[in-house]
Amino acid sequence: MPSRATCRLASPDEQIAAQRAVIIRFETALWEGGFNASLLASYQSAWRRLEALIAARGDDRRHHFVLVIPVADSPTQLRRCLASLLELCRLYGYGGMQDGRFRKVSVILADDSEDAGLIAENRAMAREFDAQGLAIDYFGLAEQLELMDSLAGMADLSTIVGDAPRDAFGHKGQARMRNIAYLELARLQETDAPLLFYTLDADQQFKVKVETADSDVCAVNFFAQLDTIFSATDADVLTGKVVGDPPVSPAVMAGNFLDDVAGFLREMAASDPARPYRQNAANTPDADAAYHDMAGLFGFENPADAYRYRCNLMGTPNNADCFGDFAQRLKRFFHGEHPTRITWYRHQPALDSAQPARTVYTGNYVFRPRALSWFIPFAPLRLRMSGPTLGRLMKTELGDKFISANLPMLHTRTLDATGEAEFRPGVVTEADAIDLSDEFERQFFGDVMLFTVERLAALGFPQQALSSETIAATLDAVHAELAQQYRTRHAGIVKNLDALTCMLNEPAHWWHARAHGQALAQFRVFLDNMQRNFGADSPGHACIASEENWQRWRQRQLAALTRFDADRRAWSQALAALTAQG
Protein backbone atom coordinates (compact mmCIF):
# COMPACT_ATOMS: atom_id res chain seq x y z
CA MET A 1 0.00 0.00 0.00
CA PRO A 2 1.20 3.53 -0.64
CA SER A 3 2.36 5.33 2.46
CA ARG A 4 0.42 8.15 4.02
CA ALA A 5 3.18 10.56 2.84
CA THR A 6 2.76 9.32 -0.73
CA CYS A 7 -0.99 9.93 -0.67
CA ARG A 8 -0.71 13.40 0.85
CA LEU A 9 -1.63 16.15 -1.56
CA ALA A 10 1.15 18.61 -2.22
CA SER A 11 0.73 21.88 -0.36
CA PRO A 12 0.35 25.15 -2.35
CA ASP A 13 3.96 26.03 -1.57
CA GLU A 14 5.16 22.65 -2.79
CA GLN A 15 3.15 22.97 -6.00
CA ILE A 16 4.62 26.41 -6.61
CA ALA A 17 8.14 25.15 -5.99
CA ALA A 18 7.57 22.25 -8.36
CA GLN A 19 6.26 24.59 -11.06
CA ARG A 20 9.28 26.83 -10.67
CA ALA A 21 11.47 23.78 -11.28
CA VAL A 22 9.46 23.06 -14.44
CA ILE A 23 10.08 26.63 -15.64
CA ILE A 24 13.82 26.30 -15.05
CA ARG A 25 13.91 23.12 -17.15
CA PHE A 26 11.90 24.78 -19.91
CA GLU A 27 14.18 27.82 -19.89
CA THR A 28 17.29 25.65 -20.16
CA ALA A 29 15.81 23.76 -23.10
CA LEU A 30 14.54 26.97 -24.74
CA TRP A 31 18.06 28.39 -25.05
CA GLU A 32 20.22 25.28 -25.15
CA GLY A 33 22.28 25.32 -28.35
CA GLY A 34 20.51 28.48 -29.51
CA PHE A 35 16.91 29.63 -29.43
CA ASN A 36 14.32 26.84 -29.80
CA ALA A 37 11.21 28.65 -31.06
CA SER A 38 9.05 25.54 -30.81
CA LEU A 39 9.29 25.63 -27.00
CA LEU A 40 8.42 29.29 -26.52
CA ALA A 41 4.63 28.86 -26.20
CA SER A 42 5.08 26.05 -23.66
CA TYR A 43 7.57 28.15 -21.69
CA GLN A 44 5.10 31.03 -21.52
CA SER A 45 2.30 28.64 -20.55
CA ALA A 46 4.42 27.29 -17.69
CA TRP A 47 4.71 30.80 -16.28
CA ARG A 48 0.95 31.31 -16.52
CA ARG A 49 0.45 28.03 -14.65
CA LEU A 50 2.74 29.36 -11.92
CA GLU A 51 0.67 32.54 -11.69
CA ALA A 52 -2.51 30.48 -11.30
CA LEU A 53 -0.93 28.55 -8.42
CA ILE A 54 0.23 31.76 -6.72
CA ALA A 55 -3.24 33.27 -7.09
CA ALA A 56 -4.85 30.15 -5.64
CA ARG A 57 -2.56 30.26 -2.62
CA GLY A 58 -3.28 33.97 -2.03
CA ASP A 59 -1.19 36.53 -0.15
CA ASP A 60 0.95 37.51 -3.16
CA ARG A 61 3.66 39.75 -1.71
CA ARG A 62 5.70 40.11 -4.87
CA HIS A 63 6.64 43.57 -6.16
CA HIS A 64 4.23 45.90 -7.90
CA PHE A 65 5.88 47.61 -10.89
CA VAL A 66 5.21 51.24 -11.77
CA LEU A 67 6.54 51.89 -15.26
CA VAL A 68 7.58 55.41 -16.28
CA ILE A 69 7.49 55.92 -20.05
CA PRO A 70 8.54 59.38 -21.31
CA VAL A 71 7.41 60.15 -24.85
CA ALA A 72 7.81 63.13 -27.17
CA ASP A 73 5.93 63.33 -30.48
CA SER A 74 6.33 59.59 -31.14
CA PRO A 75 2.89 57.95 -31.19
CA THR A 76 3.89 55.07 -33.47
CA GLN A 77 6.79 54.06 -31.26
CA LEU A 78 4.67 54.52 -28.13
CA ARG A 79 1.97 52.24 -29.53
CA ARG A 80 4.60 49.62 -30.31
CA CYS A 81 5.99 49.90 -26.78
CA LEU A 82 2.60 49.64 -25.05
CA ALA A 83 1.55 46.75 -27.30
CA SER A 84 4.68 44.84 -26.28
CA LEU A 85 3.92 45.52 -22.60
CA LEU A 86 0.37 44.25 -23.01
CA GLU A 87 1.68 41.17 -24.82
CA LEU A 88 4.17 40.52 -22.01
CA CYS A 89 1.43 40.76 -19.39
CA ARG A 90 -0.88 38.46 -21.31
CA LEU A 91 1.71 35.82 -22.20
CA TYR A 92 3.32 35.56 -18.75
CA GLY A 93 0.52 36.83 -16.52
CA TYR A 94 2.72 38.35 -13.80
CA GLY A 95 0.54 39.18 -10.79
CA GLY A 96 -2.67 38.03 -12.45
CA MET A 97 -5.74 40.18 -13.08
CA GLN A 98 -8.42 41.70 -10.91
CA ASP A 99 -11.52 43.45 -12.23
CA GLY A 100 -10.07 43.35 -15.75
CA ARG A 101 -6.75 44.95 -14.80
CA PHE A 102 -3.29 43.48 -14.37
CA ARG A 103 -2.83 43.69 -10.61
CA LYS A 104 0.90 44.32 -10.31
CA VAL A 105 1.74 46.47 -13.33
CA SER A 106 0.82 50.13 -13.85
CA VAL A 107 2.11 52.88 -16.11
CA ILE A 108 2.81 56.58 -15.82
CA LEU A 109 2.86 57.96 -19.36
CA ALA A 110 5.00 61.10 -19.11
CA ASP A 111 4.13 63.12 -22.20
CA ASP A 112 6.75 65.64 -23.29
CA SER A 113 5.16 66.18 -26.70
CA GLU A 114 4.74 69.63 -28.18
CA ASP A 115 2.29 69.06 -31.03
CA ALA A 116 -1.34 69.39 -29.84
CA GLY A 117 -2.56 66.71 -32.25
CA LEU A 118 0.04 64.23 -31.05
CA ILE A 119 -0.76 65.03 -27.43
CA ALA A 120 -4.41 64.20 -28.12
CA GLU A 121 -3.32 60.97 -29.83
CA ASN A 122 -1.21 59.97 -26.83
CA ARG A 123 -4.10 60.66 -24.44
CA ALA A 124 -6.41 58.51 -26.56
CA MET A 125 -3.81 55.76 -26.69
CA ALA A 126 -3.52 55.77 -22.91
CA ARG A 127 -7.29 55.30 -22.63
CA GLU A 128 -7.24 52.56 -25.28
CA PHE A 129 -4.59 50.44 -23.52
CA ASP A 130 -6.10 51.19 -20.11
CA ALA A 131 -9.33 49.64 -21.36
CA GLN A 132 -7.37 46.50 -22.31
CA GLY A 133 -6.10 45.93 -18.79
CA LEU A 134 -3.06 48.19 -18.40
CA ALA A 135 -3.60 50.73 -15.65
CA ILE A 136 -2.24 53.90 -17.26
CA ASP A 137 -1.97 57.30 -15.59
CA TYR A 138 -1.56 59.98 -18.26
CA PHE A 139 0.93 62.56 -16.95
CA GLY A 140 0.69 65.38 -19.46
CA LEU A 141 1.84 68.99 -19.53
CA ALA A 142 -1.04 70.23 -17.38
CA GLU A 143 -0.39 67.56 -14.76
CA GLN A 144 3.32 68.32 -14.79
CA LEU A 145 2.71 72.03 -14.27
CA GLU A 146 0.31 71.29 -11.43
CA LEU A 147 3.00 69.21 -9.76
CA MET A 148 5.61 71.95 -10.15
CA ASP A 149 3.15 74.55 -8.82
CA SER A 150 2.67 72.42 -5.70
CA LEU A 151 6.41 72.76 -5.01
CA ALA A 152 6.59 76.51 -5.56
CA GLY A 153 8.58 78.13 -2.77
CA MET A 154 9.61 74.80 -1.24
CA ALA A 155 12.76 74.07 -3.26
CA ASP A 156 14.62 75.59 -6.20
CA LEU A 157 14.62 72.82 -8.79
CA SER A 158 15.49 74.94 -11.82
CA THR A 159 18.92 73.33 -12.18
CA ILE A 160 17.32 69.86 -12.04
CA VAL A 161 14.13 70.17 -14.09
CA GLY A 162 14.87 73.41 -15.97
CA ASP A 163 12.73 76.49 -16.24
CA ALA A 164 10.74 75.98 -19.45
CA PRO A 165 7.98 78.59 -19.91
CA ARG A 166 4.45 77.46 -19.07
CA ASP A 167 3.19 78.04 -22.61
CA ALA A 168 6.02 75.96 -24.15
CA PHE A 169 6.52 73.16 -21.62
CA GLY A 170 6.99 70.35 -24.14
CA HIS A 171 10.27 69.06 -25.57
CA LYS A 172 12.13 69.51 -22.29
CA GLY A 173 14.27 66.48 -23.11
CA GLN A 174 14.38 62.98 -21.64
CA ALA A 175 16.44 63.87 -18.56
CA ARG A 176 14.27 66.76 -17.39
CA MET A 177 11.10 64.83 -18.19
CA ARG A 178 12.31 61.87 -16.16
CA ASN A 179 13.19 64.07 -13.20
CA ILE A 180 9.70 65.58 -13.18
CA ALA A 181 8.19 62.09 -13.46
CA TYR A 182 10.33 60.93 -10.52
CA LEU A 183 8.86 63.75 -8.44
CA GLU A 184 5.42 62.38 -9.31
CA LEU A 185 6.55 58.94 -8.11
CA ALA A 186 7.31 60.44 -4.69
CA ARG A 187 3.56 60.86 -4.18
CA LEU A 188 2.99 57.11 -4.42
CA GLN A 189 2.73 55.13 -1.24
CA GLU A 190 3.36 51.40 -0.87
CA THR A 191 0.16 49.54 -0.05
CA ASP A 192 -0.38 45.79 -0.33
CA ALA A 193 2.96 45.05 -2.04
CA PRO A 194 6.42 46.59 -2.23
CA LEU A 195 6.99 48.93 -5.16
CA LEU A 196 9.60 48.93 -7.89
CA PHE A 197 9.90 51.83 -10.32
CA TYR A 198 10.83 50.85 -13.89
CA THR A 199 11.80 53.53 -16.41
CA LEU A 200 12.07 52.87 -20.13
CA ASP A 201 11.93 54.67 -23.48
CA ALA A 202 9.04 54.74 -25.91
CA ASP A 203 11.26 53.37 -28.70
CA GLN A 204 11.81 50.12 -26.79
CA GLN A 205 9.84 46.91 -26.47
CA PHE A 206 9.63 44.01 -24.03
CA LYS A 207 11.16 41.66 -26.57
CA VAL A 208 14.62 40.45 -27.54
CA LYS A 209 16.39 40.14 -30.88
CA VAL A 210 17.69 36.63 -31.51
CA GLU A 211 19.90 35.74 -34.48
CA THR A 212 18.12 32.48 -35.22
CA ALA A 213 14.52 33.74 -34.82
CA ASP A 214 12.41 34.94 -37.74
CA SER A 215 11.25 37.95 -35.72
CA ASP A 216 11.78 39.62 -32.37
CA VAL A 217 10.44 37.44 -29.57
CA CYS A 218 8.73 37.88 -26.20
CA ALA A 219 11.01 35.33 -24.56
CA VAL A 220 11.95 37.04 -21.27
CA ASN A 221 9.56 37.34 -18.32
CA PHE A 222 10.94 40.71 -17.25
CA PHE A 223 8.71 41.30 -14.22
CA ALA A 224 9.14 37.88 -12.63
CA GLN A 225 12.91 37.96 -13.17
CA LEU A 226 13.21 41.43 -11.68
CA ASP A 227 11.04 40.48 -8.73
CA THR A 228 13.32 37.52 -8.07
CA ILE A 229 16.48 39.63 -8.17
CA PHE A 230 15.14 42.36 -5.92
CA SER A 231 13.78 39.73 -3.51
CA ALA A 232 17.06 37.84 -3.39
CA THR A 233 19.39 40.85 -3.09
CA ASP A 234 19.52 44.18 -1.29
CA ALA A 235 20.07 46.06 -4.57
CA ASP A 236 18.60 49.54 -4.73
CA VAL A 237 19.08 50.06 -8.47
CA LEU A 238 19.28 47.57 -11.33
CA THR A 239 20.07 48.46 -14.91
CA GLY A 240 19.58 46.35 -18.00
CA LYS A 241 20.90 47.10 -21.46
CA VAL A 242 19.39 47.08 -24.94
CA VAL A 243 19.52 44.75 -27.92
CA GLY A 244 18.85 45.77 -31.48
CA ASP A 245 19.86 49.33 -32.26
CA PRO A 246 22.74 50.80 -30.23
CA PRO A 247 22.04 53.26 -27.40
CA VAL A 248 24.54 55.84 -28.68
CA SER A 249 24.58 58.59 -31.28
CA PRO A 250 25.77 58.19 -34.89
CA ALA A 251 28.35 60.80 -33.86
CA VAL A 252 30.41 58.01 -32.23
CA MET A 253 29.73 55.21 -34.73
CA ALA A 254 30.84 56.74 -38.02
CA GLY A 255 34.35 55.31 -38.10
CA ASN A 256 33.52 51.64 -37.71
CA PHE A 257 30.47 51.91 -39.96
CA LEU A 258 32.68 53.30 -42.72
CA ASP A 259 34.96 50.31 -42.19
CA ASP A 260 31.98 47.99 -42.64
CA VAL A 261 30.72 49.82 -45.74
CA ALA A 262 34.20 49.66 -47.27
CA GLY A 263 34.39 45.95 -46.53
CA PHE A 264 31.00 45.45 -48.18
CA LEU A 265 32.05 47.33 -51.33
CA ARG A 266 35.33 45.40 -51.58
CA GLU A 267 33.39 42.15 -51.33
CA MET A 268 30.89 43.31 -53.95
CA ALA A 269 33.65 44.48 -56.31
CA ALA A 270 35.20 41.01 -56.22
CA SER A 271 31.85 39.23 -56.71
CA ASP A 272 29.63 38.31 -59.60
CA PRO A 273 26.43 40.36 -59.13
CA ALA A 274 24.33 37.40 -60.30
CA ARG A 275 25.80 34.95 -57.79
CA PRO A 276 24.10 34.31 -54.40
CA TYR A 277 25.14 36.62 -51.58
CA ARG A 278 27.36 34.91 -49.01
CA GLN A 279 24.68 35.38 -46.38
CA ASN A 280 25.70 33.03 -43.61
CA ALA A 281 29.33 33.98 -43.21
CA ALA A 282 29.92 34.80 -39.56
CA ASN A 283 30.70 38.26 -38.30
CA THR A 284 33.41 38.91 -35.77
CA PRO A 285 32.04 37.51 -32.49
CA ASP A 286 29.93 40.11 -30.73
CA ALA A 287 31.88 42.33 -28.38
CA ASP A 288 30.61 44.81 -25.86
CA ALA A 289 30.18 48.25 -27.44
CA ALA A 290 31.31 46.93 -30.84
CA TYR A 291 29.30 49.75 -32.42
CA HIS A 292 31.32 52.47 -30.63
CA ASP A 293 34.34 54.00 -32.36
CA MET A 294 36.01 54.71 -29.03
CA ALA A 295 35.05 51.61 -27.07
CA GLY A 296 38.45 51.78 -25.40
CA LEU A 297 37.25 54.76 -23.37
CA PHE A 298 34.86 52.38 -21.63
CA GLY A 299 37.34 49.56 -21.14
CA PHE A 300 36.31 47.51 -24.18
CA GLU A 301 38.24 46.49 -27.27
CA ASN A 302 37.22 47.48 -30.78
CA PRO A 303 36.94 44.42 -33.05
CA ALA A 304 39.77 44.34 -35.55
CA ASP A 305 37.66 43.09 -38.46
CA ALA A 306 34.86 44.75 -40.38
CA TYR A 307 31.36 43.36 -39.77
CA ARG A 308 29.48 41.88 -42.70
CA TYR A 309 26.00 43.00 -43.66
CA ARG A 310 23.16 40.55 -42.98
CA CYS A 311 20.89 40.91 -46.00
CA ASN A 312 17.21 41.29 -45.12
CA LEU A 313 15.82 39.80 -48.34
CA MET A 314 13.98 36.50 -48.24
CA GLY A 315 15.09 33.39 -50.07
CA THR A 316 18.49 33.28 -51.76
CA PRO A 317 19.20 36.83 -52.94
CA ASN A 318 22.10 37.51 -55.27
CA ASN A 319 24.86 40.05 -54.72
CA ALA A 320 23.15 42.73 -56.81
CA ASP A 321 19.94 42.37 -54.80
CA CYS A 322 21.81 42.69 -51.52
CA PHE A 323 23.73 45.67 -52.87
CA GLY A 324 20.37 47.36 -53.39
CA ASP A 325 19.05 46.21 -50.00
CA PHE A 326 22.09 47.63 -48.18
CA ALA A 327 21.91 50.86 -50.18
CA GLN A 328 18.36 51.60 -49.09
CA ARG A 329 19.26 51.01 -45.42
CA LEU A 330 22.22 53.40 -45.37
CA LYS A 331 20.23 56.50 -44.40
CA ARG A 332 18.99 54.72 -41.28
CA PHE A 333 22.46 55.14 -39.83
CA PHE A 334 21.93 58.89 -39.40
CA HIS A 335 18.76 58.21 -37.42
CA GLY A 336 20.44 55.90 -34.93
CA GLU A 337 20.61 52.44 -36.51
CA HIS A 338 23.86 50.59 -37.11
CA PRO A 339 22.97 48.32 -40.05
CA THR A 340 25.98 46.06 -39.59
CA ARG A 341 26.59 45.97 -35.81
CA ILE A 342 23.26 44.92 -34.40
CA THR A 343 23.30 43.77 -30.78
CA TRP A 344 21.80 40.30 -30.29
CA TYR A 345 20.42 38.70 -27.16
CA ARG A 346 22.66 36.13 -25.50
CA HIS A 347 20.85 34.15 -22.83
CA GLN A 348 22.11 33.91 -19.30
CA PRO A 349 19.85 33.28 -16.30
CA ALA A 350 18.97 36.72 -14.96
CA LEU A 351 19.79 36.13 -11.29
CA ASP A 352 23.12 34.50 -12.20
CA SER A 353 24.00 37.49 -14.38
CA ALA A 354 23.62 40.11 -11.61
CA GLN A 355 26.86 41.99 -10.99
CA PRO A 356 28.04 45.43 -9.82
CA ALA A 357 27.29 48.15 -12.37
CA ARG A 358 28.79 51.48 -13.35
CA THR A 359 26.44 52.68 -16.14
CA VAL A 360 22.73 53.42 -16.07
CA TYR A 361 20.78 52.80 -19.26
CA THR A 362 18.14 55.45 -18.67
CA GLY A 363 15.78 53.60 -21.00
CA ASN A 364 15.98 50.41 -18.94
CA TYR A 365 16.54 50.63 -15.22
CA VAL A 366 14.60 49.67 -12.10
CA PHE A 367 14.86 51.01 -8.57
CA ARG A 368 13.33 50.85 -5.12
CA PRO A 369 11.44 53.89 -3.78
CA ARG A 370 14.34 54.82 -1.52
CA ALA A 371 16.48 55.30 -4.65
CA LEU A 372 14.28 58.24 -5.65
CA SER A 373 17.00 60.23 -3.93
CA TRP A 374 18.81 59.95 -7.29
CA PHE A 375 17.80 62.17 -10.19
CA ILE A 376 19.30 62.52 -13.66
CA PRO A 377 22.19 64.94 -13.05
CA PHE A 378 22.84 68.12 -15.02
CA ALA A 379 19.59 67.64 -16.95
CA PRO A 380 19.15 71.25 -18.17
CA LEU A 381 22.44 70.94 -20.10
CA ARG A 382 20.69 68.35 -22.30
CA LEU A 383 23.91 66.40 -22.74
CA ARG A 384 24.09 62.90 -24.07
CA MET A 385 25.63 60.24 -21.80
CA SER A 386 23.49 61.32 -18.85
CA GLY A 387 22.89 57.68 -17.89
CA PRO A 388 26.56 56.68 -17.71
CA THR A 389 27.23 59.90 -15.78
CA LEU A 390 24.49 59.03 -13.27
CA GLY A 391 25.92 55.53 -13.06
CA ARG A 392 29.38 56.75 -12.08
CA LEU A 393 27.84 58.80 -9.28
CA MET A 394 25.67 55.91 -8.09
CA LYS A 395 28.61 53.54 -8.07
CA THR A 396 30.55 55.68 -5.59
CA GLU A 397 27.70 55.81 -3.09
CA LEU A 398 25.68 52.62 -3.60
CA GLY A 399 28.52 50.21 -4.27
CA ASP A 400 27.15 46.67 -4.65
CA LYS A 401 23.58 47.95 -4.27
CA PHE A 402 23.88 49.23 -7.84
CA ILE A 403 23.81 46.23 -10.17
CA SER A 404 23.26 45.18 -13.77
CA ALA A 405 21.56 42.04 -15.07
CA ASN A 406 20.98 40.32 -18.38
CA LEU A 407 17.53 41.82 -18.98
CA PRO A 408 17.92 43.87 -22.16
CA MET A 409 14.99 45.50 -23.93
CA LEU A 410 14.60 45.65 -27.69
CA HIS A 411 15.65 49.08 -29.00
CA THR A 412 14.26 50.13 -32.40
CA ARG A 413 15.23 53.63 -33.45
CA THR A 414 13.54 53.93 -36.86
CA LEU A 415 10.18 53.29 -38.48
CA ASP A 416 10.02 50.74 -41.27
CA ALA A 417 7.85 53.03 -43.42
CA THR A 418 10.34 55.92 -43.50
CA GLY A 419 13.71 54.59 -42.37
CA GLU A 420 13.84 57.56 -39.99
CA ALA A 421 13.30 58.10 -36.28
CA GLU A 422 9.84 59.40 -35.44
CA PHE A 423 11.27 62.21 -33.29
CA ARG A 424 14.94 62.78 -32.65
CA PRO A 425 16.15 66.06 -31.13
CA GLY A 426 19.38 67.34 -32.60
CA VAL A 427 18.85 65.76 -36.02
CA VAL A 428 17.72 68.08 -38.83
CA THR A 429 16.52 66.54 -42.10
CA GLU A 430 15.83 68.50 -45.28
CA ALA A 431 15.09 66.30 -48.29
CA ASP A 432 18.16 64.02 -48.56
CA ALA A 433 20.41 66.24 -46.42
CA ILE A 434 20.84 65.31 -42.75
CA ASP A 435 22.56 67.54 -40.17
CA LEU A 436 23.77 65.94 -36.93
CA SER A 437 25.81 68.89 -35.66
CA ASP A 438 23.61 69.63 -32.61
CA GLU A 439 23.59 65.99 -31.51
CA PHE A 440 27.32 65.79 -32.25
CA GLU A 441 27.98 68.73 -29.92
CA ARG A 442 25.87 67.27 -27.13
CA GLN A 443 27.64 63.93 -27.55
CA PHE A 444 31.13 65.41 -27.26
CA PHE A 445 30.40 67.56 -24.23
CA GLY A 446 28.41 64.71 -22.73
CA ASP A 447 31.56 62.60 -22.98
CA VAL A 448 33.52 65.42 -21.35
CA MET A 449 31.07 65.54 -18.45
CA LEU A 450 30.99 61.76 -18.06
CA PHE A 451 34.73 61.27 -17.80
CA THR A 452 35.16 64.36 -15.65
CA VAL A 453 32.64 62.93 -13.19
CA GLU A 454 34.41 59.56 -13.33
CA ARG A 455 37.71 61.17 -12.34
CA LEU A 456 36.12 63.36 -9.70
CA ALA A 457 34.38 60.31 -8.23
CA ALA A 458 37.79 58.66 -7.85
CA LEU A 459 38.69 61.66 -5.66
CA GLY A 460 35.61 61.21 -3.49
CA PHE A 461 33.02 63.30 -5.35
CA PRO A 462 30.20 63.90 -4.54
CA GLN A 463 30.43 62.73 -0.91
CA GLN A 464 33.66 64.65 -0.39
CA ALA A 465 33.72 68.36 -1.17
CA LEU A 466 36.35 69.21 -3.77
CA SER A 467 37.83 72.63 -4.41
CA SER A 468 36.70 74.61 -7.43
CA GLU A 469 40.31 74.50 -8.63
CA THR A 470 40.34 70.69 -8.56
CA ILE A 471 37.04 70.48 -10.43
CA ALA A 472 38.19 72.99 -13.05
CA ALA A 473 41.57 71.32 -13.56
CA THR A 474 39.92 67.91 -13.98
CA LEU A 475 37.39 69.26 -16.48
CA ASP A 476 40.13 70.98 -18.49
CA ALA A 477 42.31 67.86 -18.57
CA VAL A 478 39.47 65.60 -19.69
CA HIS A 479 38.40 68.10 -22.35
CA ALA A 480 41.90 68.31 -23.77
CA GLU A 481 42.30 64.52 -23.90
CA LEU A 482 38.93 63.90 -25.51
CA ALA A 483 39.40 66.70 -28.01
CA GLN A 484 42.62 65.01 -29.13
CA GLN A 485 40.89 61.62 -29.42
CA TYR A 486 38.06 63.15 -31.45
CA ARG A 487 40.62 64.87 -33.72
CA THR A 488 42.51 61.63 -34.28
CA ARG A 489 39.32 59.78 -35.09
CA HIS A 490 38.22 62.61 -37.39
CA ALA A 491 41.46 62.42 -39.39
CA GLY A 492 40.92 58.69 -39.90
CA ILE A 493 37.32 59.19 -40.99
CA VAL A 494 38.30 61.87 -43.51
CA LYS A 495 40.92 59.57 -45.01
CA ASN A 496 38.55 56.61 -45.16
CA LEU A 497 35.77 58.72 -46.66
CA ASP A 498 38.02 59.75 -49.52
CA ALA A 499 39.08 56.16 -50.16
CA LEU A 500 35.50 54.93 -50.02
CA THR A 501 34.33 57.61 -52.45
CA CYS A 502 37.03 56.61 -54.91
CA MET A 503 36.07 52.95 -54.61
CA LEU A 504 32.39 53.66 -55.18
CA ASN A 505 33.09 55.87 -58.21
CA GLU A 506 35.52 53.49 -59.91
CA PRO A 507 33.86 53.10 -63.36
CA ALA A 508 34.92 49.47 -63.78
CA HIS A 509 32.75 48.23 -60.92
CA TRP A 510 29.54 46.46 -61.94
CA TRP A 511 27.23 48.68 -59.90
CA HIS A 512 27.67 51.48 -62.46
CA ALA A 513 25.38 49.60 -64.86
CA ARG A 514 22.03 51.25 -65.48
CA ALA A 515 20.18 48.51 -63.56
CA HIS A 516 21.82 49.57 -60.31
CA GLY A 517 21.34 53.32 -60.72
CA GLN A 518 18.99 53.79 -57.77
CA ALA A 519 21.24 51.88 -55.37
CA LEU A 520 24.30 53.81 -56.58
CA ALA A 521 22.45 57.09 -56.00
CA GLN A 522 21.60 56.00 -52.46
CA PHE A 523 25.27 55.22 -51.77
CA ARG A 524 26.20 58.68 -53.04
CA VAL A 525 23.60 60.37 -50.83
CA PHE A 526 25.04 58.42 -47.90
CA LEU A 527 28.58 59.59 -48.69
CA ASP A 528 27.38 63.17 -49.11
CA ASN A 529 25.85 63.05 -45.64
CA MET A 530 28.96 61.45 -44.21
CA GLN A 531 31.05 64.25 -45.73
CA ARG A 532 28.61 66.85 -44.39
CA ASN A 533 28.71 65.51 -40.84
CA PHE A 534 32.13 63.89 -40.52
CA GLY A 535 34.24 65.19 -43.39
CA ALA A 536 37.00 67.80 -43.41
CA ASP A 537 34.50 70.68 -43.20
CA SER A 538 32.18 69.06 -40.67
CA PRO A 539 30.26 71.76 -38.72
CA GLY A 540 30.09 69.38 -35.75
CA HIS A 541 33.86 69.11 -35.55
CA ALA A 542 34.20 72.85 -36.09
CA CYS A 543 31.82 73.41 -33.19
CA ILE A 544 33.73 71.28 -30.71
CA ALA A 545 37.06 72.70 -31.92
CA SER A 546 35.91 76.29 -31.28
CA GLU A 547 37.65 77.83 -28.28
CA GLU A 548 34.82 80.30 -27.84
CA ASN A 549 32.27 77.50 -27.76
CA TRP A 550 34.40 75.50 -25.34
CA GLN A 551 34.55 78.44 -22.93
CA ARG A 552 30.76 78.68 -22.95
CA TRP A 553 30.41 75.00 -22.23
CA ARG A 554 33.19 75.12 -19.63
CA GLN A 555 31.36 77.80 -17.68
CA ARG A 556 28.08 75.86 -17.75
CA GLN A 557 29.66 72.54 -16.84
CA LEU A 558 31.72 73.99 -13.98
CA ALA A 559 28.61 75.66 -12.58
CA ALA A 560 26.66 72.39 -12.78
CA LEU A 561 29.40 70.39 -11.07
CA THR A 562 29.97 72.85 -8.25
CA ARG A 563 26.27 73.15 -7.41
CA PHE A 564 25.56 69.42 -7.52
CA ASP A 565 25.56 69.14 -3.72
CA ALA A 566 23.06 72.00 -3.50
CA ASP A 567 20.93 70.28 -6.14
CA ARG A 568 20.81 67.14 -4.03
CA ARG A 569 19.66 69.10 -0.99
CA ALA A 570 16.93 70.82 -3.00
CA TRP A 571 15.82 67.48 -4.42
CA SER A 572 15.58 65.98 -0.92
CA GLN A 573 13.43 68.90 0.19
CA ALA A 574 11.09 68.40 -2.77
CA LEU A 575 10.81 64.65 -2.13
CA ALA A 576 9.96 65.26 1.52
CA ALA A 577 7.24 67.74 0.58
CA LEU A 578 5.71 65.43 -2.01
CA THR A 579 5.85 62.38 0.25
CA ALA A 580 3.90 64.37 2.83
CA GLN A 581 1.36 65.32 0.15
CA GLY A 582 0.99 61.69 -0.89
pLDDT value at residue 2 = 46
E strand segments, 409-562: 409-411, 428-430, 433-435
Tell me if 30 sits within 8 A of 40, measured CB to CB: yes
pLDDT: which is higher, 577 or 1: 577
**Nearest alpha-carbon partner for 71 in 171, 164, 183, 162:** 171
As a whole number of angstroms, the distance between CA 424 and CA 69 comes to 16
320, containing H or E segment: helix 319-329
pLDDT tens-digit map of 117-131: 999 999 999 999 999
pTM: 0.93
357, containing H or E segment: none
CATH 3.90.550.10 fits 29-247+357-414, yes or no: yes
pLDDT: which is higher, 428 or 496: 496
Tell me if 342 sits within 8 A of 414, measured CB to CB: no
As a whole number of angstroms, the distance between CA 434 and CA 535 comes to 13
Check pLDDT > 50 for residue 71.
yes
pLDDT band for 110, please (50, 70, 90 cuts). very high
pLDDT value at residue 280 = 63
**What would you measure as the largest C-alpha separation in the chain, in angstroms?**
92
- Tell me the residue length of the chain: 582
pLDDT tens-digit map of 295-349: 777 777 777 678 999 998 988 999 999 999 999 999 999 999 999 999 999 999 9
pLDDT value at residue 283 = 53
Tell me if 436 sits within 8 A of 333, measured CB to CB: no
Q: What is the mean pLDDT of residues 538-556?
A: 95
3-state secondary structure of 401: helix
Check pLDDT > 60 for residue 115.
yes
pLDDT tens-digit map of 373-405: 999 999 999 999 999 999 999 999 999 999 999
pLDDT tens-digit map of 449-477: 999 999 999 999 999 989 999 999 999 99
Give every CB contact of residue 154 below 8 A, 6+ residues apart in sequence: 573, 574, 577
**Nearest alpha-carbon partner for 465 in 399, 542, 563:** 563
Report the 10 Å Cβ neighbour count for 540: 22
Phi/psi for 120 (5° steps) reads: -60, -40
pLDDT tens-digit map of 255-275: 999 999 999 999 999 999 999
Give the residue extent of every domain in the chain. Answer: 29-247+357-414
**Nearest alpha-carbon partner for 512 in 299, 580, 503, 564:** 503
As a whole number of angstroms, the distance between CA 155 and CA 157 comes to 6
Report the share of the chain in percent with pLDDT over 70.
Answer: 97
As a whole number of angstroms, the distance between CA 266 and CA 327 comes to 15
First to last CA, the chain: 62
pLDDT value at residue 1 = 44
Report the 10 Å Cβ neighbour count for 261: 25
Phi/psi for 115 (5° steps) reads: -75, 125
pLDDT tens-digit map of 214-266: 889 999 999 999 999 999 999 999 999 999 999 899 999 999 999 999 999 99
Residue 316 CB burial class (10 angstroms; 0-12, 13-18, ≥19)? exposed
3-state secondary structure of 393: helix
As a whole number of angstroms, the distance between CA 153 and CA 121 comes to 34
